[in-house]
Amino acid sequence: MRLRRLEVQGFRSLQQFQITFDNDLTIVVGENDAGKTSLIECLKVITQGRSVNPDDFTYGREQLLITIEIEDFVFRKEYRRSGNTVTEEPLIAFPTTAYVQKTLDRLRSENLDISSDEEKNFIREVAKLFGLTVRSNSVIENLRVQLIDRLSADGDLIIDGATFPRFNHIQLDGRHFENIPAFFKEVFLKEKQASIWRENVNEGITIETFVRSHLEAYSNEVSRQIQDRGITDKLRLFLPELTEVKVEPVFHARDLNVDAKVKFLENGTEISIENKGDGTKRRMTMALLEFKKDQSLASSDSQTVYLLDEPDTHLHVRAQLDLVKTVEGFSFAGNQVILTTHSPFIVNAAKPSQVRLLVRSNGTTSVRSLVADPSHSSKILRALGVENTHLFFSRKIVIVEGETEEAFLPAQYLKLTNRTLSSGLTKVINVHGVQNIVGFSRAILELHDPERIYILCDNDASPELQELINQLGVTQEHKFQVGTREFEDAFHSSVIQRAWAQYHLDCGKEPPADWTEEAIEQLKSRCIADDKKFSKELRALGRGGKSMKKPVFGAALGERVEFGELPHQLRNLLDLLAIP
């Protein structure tokens, strides 16, 4: 089973909230208190029966509605608050259109064999689901006809008093990753804890004896697999004297509670891990989680849904990258992962289409993501080298169409402010060669308002850039045109001469003998008159010195030109970028 969509009306900051989940990996990001934990808690309300408290209601609201869509059904739960009392309506379900059509096709199929036990059980179960009377002597053909009529009728198909299906899932928050016994119980014992009550008890054996023997056998198997699959060796990075990991189930017969005690042993003597740091404990649980992905899934479900709430907390950079590999392993194996995080490494490792940014404004949380053709948008943005942290968190975006400008702006900004452009959450994107203008524009505008986008171009801007400007709807005030024909010819010849000469000297090399202000000025005048590329001719003039590649020249110019020597358009742009 996979989760498709969550819709919430009235849970804390989630007022008119809707989010979709990818089949493999969904990364949920946002500032503190943006609603990431509330999202996870809402999922638990439907999938685990988490209780709803008065404080969970959005301030001023008396009604709470949570809707979850899976492959075949949409489940909805309603709560009402009166003072400190919360009442709840029964869970209801609606079949998806795809499920109804799939079921009708099966019921109408010429190949349907209603004499087979498989088809009989299928028809009986679906008939019960949709409220038809099913008795032991019910005629299967009659049930089939009634089902077709029921599913073909106009109006909504509502299933009252529905039960959310059992599914294979692991839900871990920060406390689990630092509390190893709790981690073991969630990851290794939960499925056994739920399924053991459905096992057959042999004659002459008490339920307590039966449960203890099964849990002991299962725990021994987990302990053995941890050793055989090399997890003990990984744990020795943190416990050098470790020789064995032993899982001991704890069964409290009085309250039918199953817990876990995990022993880390050195030649039979238990090693204490209580004094280990939280980061180390998380590394240990990550090693165990890596082992879990190779285990066979529960028979009740063909996939596992992993809900991981900020597992990166207290992990250093290398450990976060290891976490990325583990999470990718889960999704590559056909499972679904929904992960909240603050880690830029985890965010950047995902495809742009897999990221959901939660934004809280005026007490209400909304979602920003790539919606229109997200897979194609992801390819375009990755081809441009736009990392997700820049794409989702940038406050300002500057679009240029040349390598000189792309290198110049960050260098000049650093010189002026002693801060990097990225530290102010400003991203420069060079769109030279972008083929899909419409796709790129759509992706940017889904995440950013036009008021946060700036254009730096020259008078020789390509038709593609002009189209991009039109698609983005950038205001005239945010469009900065520099240079007679190129960005490079906007600077005084003395500035160009000095900057490139100083670059040579800083590199321990003399500039070319013909690299003079007069030669540069004559070259610029000639290029303007003859409609030639100044940047190309400039490289020829500097031949014999350092290689004048555009990014190198742009950075050298940005590092050495003074603010007062800049064209006024550049001064205006840099002033705007410096505003928080």
Residues 126 and 221 in one domain: no
Tens digits of per-residue pLDDT, 182-235? 787 778 777 776 677 667 777 677 777 887 788 788 888 888 888 888 888 878
Would you say residue 109 lies in a domain? yes
User: Rounded to an integer, what distance in angstroms lies between the CA atom of residue 168 and that of residue 1?
Assistant: 8
Tens digits of per-residue pLDDT, 34-57? 999 999 999 999 988 889 999 999
pTM (2 d.p.): 0.79
Spatial neighbors of 576 by CB under 8 A, at least 6 apart, are 454, 478
Residues 145 and 239 in one domain: no
Mean pLDDT value across residues 566-575? 95
Beta bridge mates, 246: 263
Would you say residue 211 lies in a domain? yes
Strands (E), 452-515: 453-457, 479-481
Residues 288 and 413 in one domain: no
Mean pLDDT value across residues 131-151? 90
Residues 436 and 549 in one domain: yes
Around 259, how many Cα atoms within 13 Å sit in the side-chain half-sphere? 9
Tens digits of per-residue pLDDT, 273-283? 777 777 777 77
pLDDT reading at 300 higher than 70: no
Tens digits of per-residue pLDDT, 334-351? 889 999 999 999 999 898
User: Rounded to an integer, what distance in angstroms lies between the CA atom of residue 180 and that of residue 183?
Assistant: 5
Residues 139 and 219 in one domain: no
Would you say residue 31 lies in a domain? no
Residue where a domain stops, chosen among 264, 296, 328: 296
Query: For residue 61, what pLDDT band results from cuts at 50, 70 and 90?
Result: very high
Around 435, how many Cα atoms within 13 Å sit in the side-chain half-sphere? 5
Would you say residue 221 lies in a domain? yes
Residues 222 and 123 in one domain: no
User: Rounded to an integer, what distance in angstroms lies between the CA atom of residue 42 and that of residue 21?
Assistant: 14
pLDDT at 521: 94
Would you say residue 158 lies in a domain? no
Residues 145 and 178 in one domain: no
pLDDT at 193: 67
Residues 430 and 573 in one domain: yes
pLDDT reading at 264 higher than 70: yes
Nearest CA to 211 out of 229, 193, 233, 235 is that of: 193
The tokens of 204 are what? 């002459």
Would you say residue 14 lies in a domain? no
Would you say residue 528 lies in a domain? yes
Tens digits of per-residue pLDDT, 513-530? 999 999 999 999 999 889
CA distances from 3 to 76, 94, 194, 249, 574 (A): 14, 15, 21, 31, 45
Residue where a domain stops, chosen among 247, 277, 296: 296
Q: For residue 527, how far is the Cα from the chain centroid?
A: 50
Query: Residue 462 belongs to what domain range?
Result: 379-577
Please provide residue 207's backbone torsions phi and psi, each rounded to the nearest 5 degrees: -60, -40
Residues 184 and 142 in one domain: no
Would you say residue 240 lies in a domain? yes
Spatial neighbors of 196 by CB under 8 A, at least 6 apart, are 211, 214, 215, 258
pLDDT reading at 440 higher than 80: yes
Number of domains composing the chain: 3
User: Rounded to an integer, what distance in angstroms lies between the CA atom of residue 354 and that of residue 199?
Assistant: 40
Residues 549 and 493 in one domain: yes
Residues 420 and 563 in one domain: yes
User: Rounded to an integer, what distance in angstroms lies between the CA atom of residue 227 and that of residue 112?
Assistant: 49
Residue 350, class by beta-carbon neighbours within 10 Å (0-12 exposed, 13-18 middle, 19+ buried)? buried
Residues 118 and 182 in one domain: no
Q: Which residue has the higher pLDDT, 454 or 292?
A: 454
